[in-house]
Structure 1
Amino acid sequence: MKLAVIGLGAIAPFFLDAIERDPSLTLAAVCDLDDKKLAPWRERGLAVFTSHQELLDAGLAEGVIVTLPNDLHADVACAAMEHGVAVCCEKPMTITAADAQRVIETSRLTESVLFTAFHRRYNRNLLDLAAKLPADRTRIARVVHRYHENIEEHTGGDQWYLDVSRCGGGCVIDNGPNALDAVRHLIGDLRLIDATIGDVRSGTEFYAELDLVSTNGVQARVELDWALPTGEMKDIVVELRDGTVLTADLLDGYDAFKSSLAHEYSGILDGFKAAIAEGREYRDPGPDLVALVEEAYRVARRKETRLRMTAKHESVAKVVKSLFHARDDRGMTLSPWASRCVQAGEVHELVTTTDRPSVEGDRIDHVGFLGFAEFKNATVVERGDGVWLRGRRIGTVAGFDECHAPNHYNILIDVPLLFTASDVNLGIGAEVIFKEASR
């Protein structure tokens, strides 16, 4: 089969090497906008193009490998299939589910094969792990996949990875499809439960945590990290319901940088050939992963939480009146507000509780009074904030009671055991520090 590679960026060399190793494949042409990247191939007598349309019009290839920036995948894949050419597209298939549907519809209308390249599914260590799993996947309790790397070591100078308009995001859309496909390969179709992103730089997330569940009820977590200081960490832990733990390090046995990719990209080409042989019956998982990534962004980007990012300064409140009594019948009520603005100089009451209030209107009876404290700086006190005294965390903000408003409000502090000012030596002038709940 004659193949052409469109895009000679950081990923292309792994495809080109895999083509060279496969006697059933012939490299017919390459295409890139950068003439410097084309020059070595021109010197070898290979057909080179700066326009994918001209390459397709030349009719030199039966299949193309698309290794372009993510925002170009849809248009180039559709153009190729409209020429009757089979397409192997680097993940993600597209940035949006709407574009994925457009590409799939073009594949259907032209009866051309569309294949997404998820290279980790061909990793030998992953396949060995899959072979050890029970046939009855309901015996699996949980899967955790860590996919951590330093993105700057992987781009090969391709800056589009860090351009949200071109990449579509950060680690969720770049590493996410491979990691999600690997988990899906082990436990079946996935549904998103929750997603949180963090370490966002110029709109691009460098960290994310995705929680999912399979159709068999298996829980899964995928951790994605672009900010590992150096090296890589790509492993999977499978916990069975009987307590057995199975693991796979996807890089075990591949000590050189990216050395595992050689056999994985050969696996991609074998998969591409098999898809072509299957023809119209082949169903590519690419659109499902695009939809899963899109849903993860929809959930994560509307959340206030951003992991590994500081959203506010810690705030210091100086005790102006200590209180020493406790009660088990106070009858406070949790207010609906998850946060309250505090101006510099305002005084509010600090109250410990073991009642664990969580829903608006919850009654709070068991309380220990710490005292009244003046906030030195303007801030926002929020549920979940850590409360610290003399370098030790003493509790967590549970919420607010407003029975004394507008004079002041009671800041309720979740604690394991009730205590008052006398129990922690909270004297006049002592400083209580409120720190953002972040990780």
Structure 2
Amino acid sequence: MSIRWGILGTGNIAHLFASDLQLPPDATLAAVGSRAQERADAFGDRFGVSRRYGSYEALVADPDLDVVYVATPHSKHAEHAAMALEAGAAVLCEKPLALNAAEAETLIATARRYDQFLMEAMWTRFLPVMADVRRLVQEERALGDVCLLRADIGVVQDFDPEHRLFDPALGGGALLDLGVYPIAFAFDLFGPPDAVTSSAVIGDTGVDEQCAVVFRYDDGTQAVWQASVRADAGRTCVLAGREGRLRGTRAWWKGAPFELTRADGSTETWARSFEGSGYQFEATHVMRCLREGRTESPVMPLDESRAILDTTDALRAEWGVRYPDESPSTLRSS
């Protein structure tokens, strides 16, 4: 039986997801919702979607949807995900799950109250090459005891105060848009850090445009990462231990090949090519969870999504970055 999807939002990420949703044989893109009917119609024309709604409320009210993919700006994730949950649909919500941990807690409570599936769309975690990384590091221990993760992620974005990356009202900044990838990578392999140190460059609109962060763990492990909307930082990562290192090439979070170098100097490369942009893997995982009757993912659990936001809250508190309507007490230091 095919799983029927609705997409809430019609921006770039919604287009990428809709395109990849054509790849799993058990997925049907049944409906789309936008704030404007003409955008919903244009999206529907492009992807062959028959049910097109000119409001988000109308989309989630569609009784024939199994799951809604929330693809709106960061600042609306919690509101729109809750709307879909309360209407009786499962939800895959774009990352970050919410603007802050307080919003995430409320949203998670809503999902649990309605006994509905909810997952943050940390799509990179579901890429085939990332399963290889976890196997090599955690199961085969190809690197021995891993003691260092270094990851860079950056883009060059021309300054525009109305662009979502620079608009605090939309949850702009490098941290929530890009930094969440190395954060989630570190959490996946090592869990939440025991201590955090950081530095950030705050732009004219009050959002973080560049940041450098060190996670320290009590066992001596460090995760060192940078995120930037000012510079192309190379977009590489390295995992290192006493027995070798694993290097992710350019665009590591998008499924680029990883190269393993062992202590004896021998090398191996893992390349797991795939069709599309890679969003089909998280969609397939969600559909598997729904068929198994799960209300959350064992790969991207809700408590981890909230803990990641605890970390980003603490970083923003240190930098003095707050979004509109956030009180100082909302950002809890870790």
Match of 1:262 among 276, 281, 284: 276
Aligned pairs, how many? 292
Residue 3 of structure 1 deviates from its aligned partner by 0.6
Query: Structure 1's 30 and 293: CA in aligned 2 closer, same or farther, altered over 3 A?
Result: same
Matched, 1:206 2:225: no
Residue 272 of structure 1 deviates from its aligned partner by 1.5
Aligned to 2:35: 33
Matched, 1:119 2:119: no
Query: Structure 1's 83 and 45: CA in aligned 2 closer, same or farther, altered over 3 A?
Result: closer
Aligned to 2:109: 105
Aligned to 1:139: 145
1:100-150 superposed Cα distances (whole Å, 9 cap, x missing partner): 000000011000011101122233444333332254698111111111222
Residue 173 of structure 1 deviates from its aligned partner by 1.1
> Quick one: distance in 2 between partners of 1:77 and 1:217?
38
SS, match of residue 143 in structure 1: strand
Aligned to 1:327: none
Query: Structure 1's 281 and 92: CA in aligned 2 closer, same or farther, altered over 3 A?
Result: closer
Answer 1 or 2: which has greater helix percent. Answer: 2
| Identity rate, percent | 19
Aligned to 1:75: 79
> Quick one: distance in 2 between partners of 1:297 and 1:132?
33
Aligned to 1:298: 317
Counterpart AA for 2:221:
V
Larger radius of gyration: 1
SS, match of residue 203 in structure 2: strand
Moved more, 38-47 or 14-23: 38-47
> Quick one: distance in 2 between partners of 1:272 and 1:61?
14
Answer 1 or 2: which has greater strand percent. Answer: 1
Matched, 1:7 2:29: no
SS, match of residue 5 in structure 2: strand
Aligned to 2:20: 18
Query: Structure 1's 280 and 11: CA in aligned 2 closer, same or farther, altered over 3 A?
Result: closer
> Quick one: distance in 1 between partners of 2:43 and 2:277?
24
> Quick one: distance in 2 between partners of 1:278 and 1:218?
37
> Quick one: distance in 2 between partners of 1:57 and 1:196?
44
Residue 188 of structure 1 deviates from its aligned partner by 3.0
**C-alpha RMSD of the superposition:** 2.9
Counterpart AA for 1:279:
R
Residue 59 of structure 1 deviates from its aligned partner by 1.4
Counterpart AA for 1:288:
A
SS, match of residue 159 in structure 1: coil
Match of 2:286 among 234, 255, 272: 272
> Quick one: distance in 1 between partners of 2:287 and 2:230?
35
> Quick one: distance in 2 between partners of 1:2 and 1:264?
19
* Within-5 A mapping of 1:126-205: 126-133=130-137, 135=139, 139-151=145-157, 159-167=163-171, 169-198=172-201, 200-205=203-208
Query: Structure 1's 66 and 191: CA in aligned 2 closer, same or farther, altered over 3 A?
Result: farther
In the alignment, is the contact (CA less than 8 A) between 1:120 and 1:179 conserved in 2? no
- TM-score, L = length of structure 2: 0.78
> Quick one: distance in 1 between partners of 2:135 and 2:211?
29
1:131-186 superposed Cα distances (whole Å, 9 cap, x missing partner): 32254698111111111222459x9xx8223211211x401111122221122223
> Quick one: distance in 2 between partners of 1:192 and 1:5?
38
Query: Structure 1's 42 and 186: CA in aligned 2 closer, same or farther, altered over 3 A?
Result: closer
Counterpart AA for 1:122:
F
> Quick one: distance in 2 between partners of 1:100 and 1:42?
31
> Quick one: distance in 1 between partners of 2:72 and 2:125?
21
> Quick one: distance in 1 between partners of 2:277 and 2:12?
17
Q: Which gives a bigger RCO, structure 1 or 2 (Cα 8 Å, sep 6+)?
A: 2
Residue 245 of structure 1 deviates from its aligned partner by 2.5
> Quick one: distance in 2 between partners of 1:214 and 1:4?
41
SS, match of residue 72 in structure 2: coil
Query: Structure 1's 301 and 53: CA in aligned 2 closer, same or farther, altered over 3 A?
Result: same
In the alignment, is the contact (CA less than 8 A) between 2:202 and 2:208 conserved in 1? yes
